[in-house]
Chains A and B, each alone.
Chain A
Amino acid sequence: MRRVSLSGSEKTVGAIWDWYEVQSRLALAKKSQLLQEIRSSHRVSDPTFFGMTTEEIDDFFCELDLLTMLDLLASAEAAIRVNFLNRVYRRLKDDVSRQFRTLYKANGNSIRLEDVLNVWKDLVPAIKNQVGDFNGALLLRHWLAHGRYWTPKFGRDYYPGDVYDISLRLINAIST
């Protein structure tokens, strides 16, 4: 079976979080300026925002949070898949790696992320919660990645900090 050529270009959740914090500060400054313009009326510093209500301004800047969460989940997916492939290619002897090889033989490179996570959940009960939390966040990932065309039911609210924690906890758990 043809091996995946690993790029080594994947972003870490830490790098994404640093980027988000900087962008977030810039966005807040811009948002504050716009809210000030609303209160004082009639001054338009940026026509992109002309006519927007405060609610629409909130929605506009909420995009940064949504895109960051997608990036964090994509980064975590990359870490999980690279971990999977490394265990397969290196023919490690632990139970998880053996089960991964079986999955790999059956599915090749088109293995579903959920199937990889199920192996972790079934064979390493100690990280069941981390896997469960990440599986829940995958609903958000699918909704974002597929263009948000359906009304989502996540069972909880997600913010970038939550997704960062969920992703990092799982990455750390499977990396030990």
Chain B
Amino acid sequence: MAEQSLKEFFRKKKAKAGGDIDWAARKDEWVQTIRDLYKTITDDYLAEPVADGSVAVAEDEKTIVEEFIGPYQAPELVLQVGDEKVVFSPKGRNIVGASGRIDLVGEMGVKTLVVQPERRWGVVESRTPTLRIVPLDKESLLSALKDVMRP
């Protein structure tokens, strides 16, 4: 009798929880989304400053550990401008309200980039009192870099 009750309990729980989530696929898609972003940044947004040598670009790896997904490697993008460094540092796929987050970390602060529907990237300008996210493009990247780098 008790066994039947437990069976029923978990059957209902599973039905309420919805379908199984393919966490490995989520992680793979997330890492690919990061790589695609870095390609857009280096080949498009920063193509000219990279070409004229005013900024050096390198990739590194970091280990992220997330609930359900476990540990995995994700690429970091490092911009070096003279003696100043800015890092695009992935924080995780599983975040509130979006499908992944990268922190843009500089000496003067941190800006948050998030993946929105259709794998569009946005820059979080404010959370409260009003959530404001602007699409990531050359202009918003410049603004974000100004915020986190030395004046």
Contact = CB atoms under 8 A, between A and B. Distances in A.
Interface of A: 34, 37-44, 47-54, 57
B98 A41 contact: yes
B96 A52 contact: yes
Q: Which of A37, A38, A51, A54 has the most CB of B within 10 A?
A: A51
A42 B99 contact: yes
Contacts of A41: 98-99
B111 to A, nearest CB: 11
B131 A44 contact: yes
Contacts of B128: 47-48
A38 B21 contact: no
Interface in B90-134: 91-92, 94-99, 101, 112, 114, 116-117, 124, 127-128, 130-131
The majority secondary structure among interface residues of chain A is helix
Interface residues of B, number: 23
A50 B66 contact: no
B99 A53 contact: no
Interface of B: 18, 21, 66-68, 91-92, 94-99, 101, 112, 114, 116-117, 124, 127-128, 130-131
A49 B67 contact: no
Given A39-B21, A41-B99, A50 B127 contact: yes
Given A39-B21, A42-B117, A44-B131, A51 B98 contact: yes
Q: Which of B66, B99, B112, B127 has the most CB of A within 10 A?
A: B127
A37 to B, nearest CB: 6
A43 B18 CA distance: 16
Contacts of B124: 50-51
B127 A42 contact: no
A51 B114 contact: yes
Nearest to A36: B17
Given A42-B117, A44-B131, A51 B66 contact: no
B95 A38 contact: yes
A57 B21 contact: no
B94 to A, nearest CB: 5
A38 B98 CA distance: 8
A49 B66 contact: no
B97 A37 contact: yes
Nearest to B101: A51
